[in-house]
Structure 1
Amino acid sequence: MSSDSSPSRPTLRSVTDRFGYPHFLAATLVLVAATILLGVAAKATGSGLACEANWPQCDAGPFNLFPANLPSFYEWIHRFVAMFAGFAIIGSAVAAWRLPDIDTRVASLVVLGMVLTPIQVYLGRETVLVYEMDILSLHFWTAILIFGLFVVATVLVWRSALGAETVTAAFGLGLLSVPLHIALSPTDLGVVSEYSPTVQLLQYGVTLALIAAVIVAIMVGRWRFDDRPLLAIAGVTAVLGLAVSYLGRQLVMNNISALDQLYIGLAVVLFFIFCAGGYYSHTRATRTDSAH
């Protein structure tokens, strides 16, 4: 008898086969961002030395793997999400090299992110066992570098879906991010009376949005507009965006009042640059649509 009529067995499919590599990479980016924000929450709540300063164990449950109280939970959930983010980073790098249709630039970016991941894990361990400000700072900026690499890689794989209007939207996101960043900062212009853990979490979320907006504006603007003024605007936003993000971090970590005016001044300039970029890109996109 022929066995052709027998039902076929279900086969296991990889994540990239089920959802596609662009979606997998976007999900990895979300995990990276969540890991950063949970790390901010752990530090802001003073939970970085919870879990009885153990690593990678915590302070309760079998083998001390689980949190014993709320501070330990903040540290534990940060490590838990970071573990999944690390697996996703490794998976995205392996898939990028194995899939024949993935741009080599994307593969290079995510592999670099994978190389930085064990370094970041080691720095995370040192923040628990040593807890020095230099290590904390290096741990944070390494995370920001990994985030930036995955933003660039994600924009590259979604290139065909990102049109001229995306540039305007990116400038618009930056335009909203700057006043929020100032409002949530511990300066005289800040609208918060206490720089609480919630405020810190919100401000760092705005920082990630600001960085992503600058990257998207530069990359998509270069693809969709062959225009030197717009590219110049995008370049200025890159420099100012990094400066504002860095100074905002310094104000939080070191409380250097002398940096207040410099931070606010650069942020105001960045705000108007975003305004100019949004208006210019919208005008160019409208003209292009009218021509067609």
Structure 2
Amino acid sequence: MSSDSHTRPIYRSLVDRFGFPHLLTTTLVLVAATILLGVAAKATGSGLACEANWPQCDAGPFNLFPANLPSFYEWIHRFVAMFAGFAIVGSALAAWRLEDVDDRVASLVILGMILTPIQVYLGGQTVLQYQMEILSLHFWTAILIFAMFVIATVLVWRGSFSVRTITGAFVVGLLTLPAHVALSPTEFGVVTDYSPTVQLLQYGVTLTLIGAVIVATMVTRWHAGSRLLSGLTYGTTGLALAVAYFGRQVVMNFSMTIDRLYLVLTGVLALAFVVAIAVSRRQSGGR
């Protein structure tokens, strides 16, 4: 997007040094890390360790000397979230000021910046109130921000993708499903103790699944001419979001109906991935 002559050199020098695509990729990594650390903090009850103190915890300014291990986890989460916030703001300002940044990228990143203070507020409320509704809203807002930055990052790296990327993304998505089921607290789950480590791994798999279907969908629009493949990408995206949603519901609710619905959706998604892999390989000539 356009910029004035006074601010352009500042942003241009930063982007020339680090590269806007790399800045955006780093921001995406920080957003993902913030989400996973937030999951770890919730799983360990670290927010409660701060005794409803926010943004500080239990050790003065910046919580430089946490009183115990749980408060340390919460501090790490807030610390990384702070850097993620700075990166989001920096990416948004750069996207707004630099004239060679795609308007779609700028819009996504700026919207992510607008959502960030809302997410920060919700994060504070999870400590001050710790209600399930607030926790869920906090989580899904984070997923929305993550998805927007995945889309923006794929857009800026568009020239690096090919038809084979579609197959690779579908393969990654397919590989996440057994892990997602195994790490879920269902009757078919491998784990018997839904520990903080298991939760962290499961949500890491969830982010990977969401990222994979976004990449597959976007690259298919650019490089695939098959209506069947396009339909499969949209279908897998919808199913992946449903699996992510019901996978979380499995954790939040002890319901056999939800467990079975989650497993059925996962099975359908796995089948869709297999078909999509075959179709995309055929389109790319089996390479």
Q: TM-score range by the shorter chain?
A: over 0.9
Amino acid at match of 2:225: D
Q: CA deviation at 1:156?
A: 0.4
Match of 1:168 in 2: 167
1:99-110, aligned counterparts within 5 Å?
99-110=98-109
Counterpart check, 1:237 vs 2:236:
yes
For 1:253 and 1:122, locate their aligned partners in 2 and report how far apart those are by CA, in whole Å: 22
1:284–1:63 distance in 2 versus 1, CA, 3 Å: closer
Amino acid at match of 2:106: A
Q: Secondary structure at the match of 1:255?
A: coil
What TM-score does the superposition give when structure 2 sets the normalisation length? 0.93
Matched-pair contact (CA < 8 Å) for 1:57–1:65: no
Q: Secondary structure at the match of 1:286?
A: coil
Q: CA deviation at 1:52?
A: 2.5
Q: Percent identity?
A: 68
Match of 2:16 in 1: 17
Matched-pair contact (CA < 8 Å) for 1:51–1:68: no
* 1:130-152 Cα shifts (integer Å, max 9, x gaps): 11110000000000000000000
Q: CA deviation at 1:103?
A: 0.3
* 1:148-207 Cα shifts (integer Å, max 9, x gaps): 000000000000111111111100000101111001100111111211111110000000
Q: CA deviation at 1:116?
A: 0.2
* 1:41-61 Cα shifts (integer Å, max 9, x gaps): 001111121222210111125
Match of 1:259 in 2: 258
For 1:266 and 1:12, locate their aligned partners in 2 and report how far apart those are by CA, in whole Å: 46
What TM-score does the superposition give when structure 1 sets the normalisation length? 0.92
Match of 2:3 in 1: none
Q: CA deviation at 1:258?
A: 1.8
Match of 1:54 in 2: 53
Matched-pair contact (CA < 8 Å) for 2:57–2:71: yes
Counterpart check, 1:152 vs 2:151:
yes
Amino acid at match of 2:36: L
1:48-197, aligned counterparts within 5 Å?
48-61=47-60, 64-197=63-196
Match of 1:247 in 2: 246
Q: Secondary structure at the match of 1:232?
A: helix
Matched-pair contact (CA < 8 Å) for 2:21–2:157: yes
Match of 1:4 in 2: none
Matched-pair contact (CA < 8 Å) for 1:109–1:153: yes
1:183-222, aligned counterparts within 5 Å?
183-222=182-221
> How many residue pairs are counted as aligned between the two chains?
278
Q: Secondary structure at the match of 2:285?
A: helix
For 1:99 and 1:138, locate their aligned partners in 2 and report how far apart those are by CA, in whole Å: 33
For 2:62 and 2:94, locate their aligned partners in 1 and report how far apart those are by CA, in whole Å: 34
For 2:73 and 2:15, locate their aligned partners in 1 and report how far apart those are by CA, in whole Å: 31
Amino acid at match of 2:131: E
For 1:111 and 1:168, locate their aligned partners in 2 and report how far apart those are by CA, in whole Å: 31
Matched-pair contact (CA < 8 Å) for 2:177–2:266: yes
| CA RMSD after TM alignment | 1.6
Q: Secondary structure at the match of 2:78?
A: helix
Gaps of 5+ in 1: 1-10
For 1:63 and 1:165, locate their aligned partners in 2 and report how far apart those are by CA, in whole Å: 46
Q: CA deviation at 1:256?
A: 2.5
Matched-pair contact (CA < 8 Å) for 1:15–1:24: no
1:156–1:200 distance in 2 versus 1, CA, 3 Å: same
Amino acid at match of 2:117: P
For 1:68 and 1:261, locate their aligned partners in 2 and report how far apart those are by CA, in whole Å: 43
Matched-pair contact (CA < 8 Å) for 1:58–1:66: no
Larger-gyration structure (1/2): 1
For 1:63 and 1:225, locate their aligned partners in 2 and report how far apart those are by CA, in whole Å: 50
Matched-pair contact (CA < 8 Å) for 1:51–1:67: no
Q: CA deviation at 1:12?
A: 11
Gaps of 5+ in 2: 1-9
For 2:171 and 2:63, locate their aligned partners in 1 and report how far apart those are by CA, in whole Å: 47
Amino acid at match of 2:43: A
Match of 1:227 in 2: 226
